[in-house]
Amino acid sequence: MKLLYLLVDLGAISVPLLASFHPKIRLHKHWKALWPAILIAAVPFIIWDSYFTKIGVWGFTPEYLTGFGLFGLPIEEILFFLCIPYACMFTYFCFRQWKGQLSLKSEQRVTWVCIGLCLVLGLTGAGRYYTSSAMSSLAIFLIYLKWQAKPQWLGLFYYSHQFLLIPFFIVNGILTGSGLKKPVVWYNNAENLGVRIFTIPIEDIFYGMLLLSLNAFLFEYFLQKAEKRATSKTRPHA
């Protein structure tokens, strides 16, 4: 059982990583954009995670861990911020290849609903570290995206994210104790709303959306930079 969390990480990334070389997908051709996005996005989450682990907002059951750690976190938790985003960005990229920069009529409505939920739940859980930080962070980021950055890919992200909720519930369900005697990751309910979907704290949904939207934001940024460089190289010089 000490390999459980590690196997969850490796299981999540294994198929997407292999499928990245498929001739109709070829995500590996864009690793110079994807891996920097994943690594940069991981930094604030690892800092956040490390601090919350230190103050007891959440923690980890040793029986499911290899025992190796970094930055005050199990190595499996560090890998989580690499493996899960890769798997999810793989799905996002597949939809990007298929749908292009999808424009949803409901995009603005979805944004408002997400921000509204963040505000309502954030106020309900005011003073609870996990609730307050997750809700406020996602609300601020969505406001920045919608009214400052104004990305063309936001509709595509919302579209792909609805499909990503299925593996989200599987992975997070395992980590929060579904089918196990103890959870891999335990939560201090004094620091969250205590509302769970099966074994998953409701805050995890918003935390996960923030993690993946930040990855998508950086991935698209680096992709666009790469596309501009490629265009400038092929453009004839005077």
User: Is the pLDDT confidence value at 237 over 60?
Assistant: no
Q: How many Cβ atoms sit within 10 Å of the Cβ of residue 130?
A: 23
User: Is the pLDDT confidence value at 182 over 90?
Assistant: yes
Residue 203 inside a domain? The answer is: no
Query: What domain count does the chain have?
Result: 1
The helix (run of H) or strand (run of E) holding residue 73 is strand 73-74
Q: How many Cβ atoms sit within 10 Å of the Cβ of residue 99?
A: 13
Residue 92 belongs to what domain range?
A: 4-105+152-192+216-231
Residue 81 inside a domain? The answer is: yes
Residue 204 amino acid letter: D
Name the one residue in this structure whose structure tokens are 């493996």: 83
pLDDT of residue 234: 67
Q: What percent of the chain has pLDDT over 70?
A: 96
Q: Does the predicted model carry a pTM greater than 0.85?
A: yes
User: Is the pLDDT confidence value at 34 over 60?
Assistant: yes
**Distance between the two ends of the chain, CA-based, in angstroms?**
65
Give the pLDDT confidence of 97-112 residue by residue, as tens digits.
887 766 667 888 999 9
Residues in the chain: 238
CB 211 within 8 A of CB 161: no
Beta bridge partners of 197: 200
* Band (236; pLDDT cuts 50, 70, 90): low
Residue 40 inside a domain? The answer is: yes
Give the pLDDT confidence of 53-112 residue by residue, as tens digits.
999 999 999 999 999 999 999 999 999 999 999 999 999 999 998 877 666 678 889 999
pLDDT of residue 58: 98
Alpha carbon distance 6, 201 (integer Å): 21
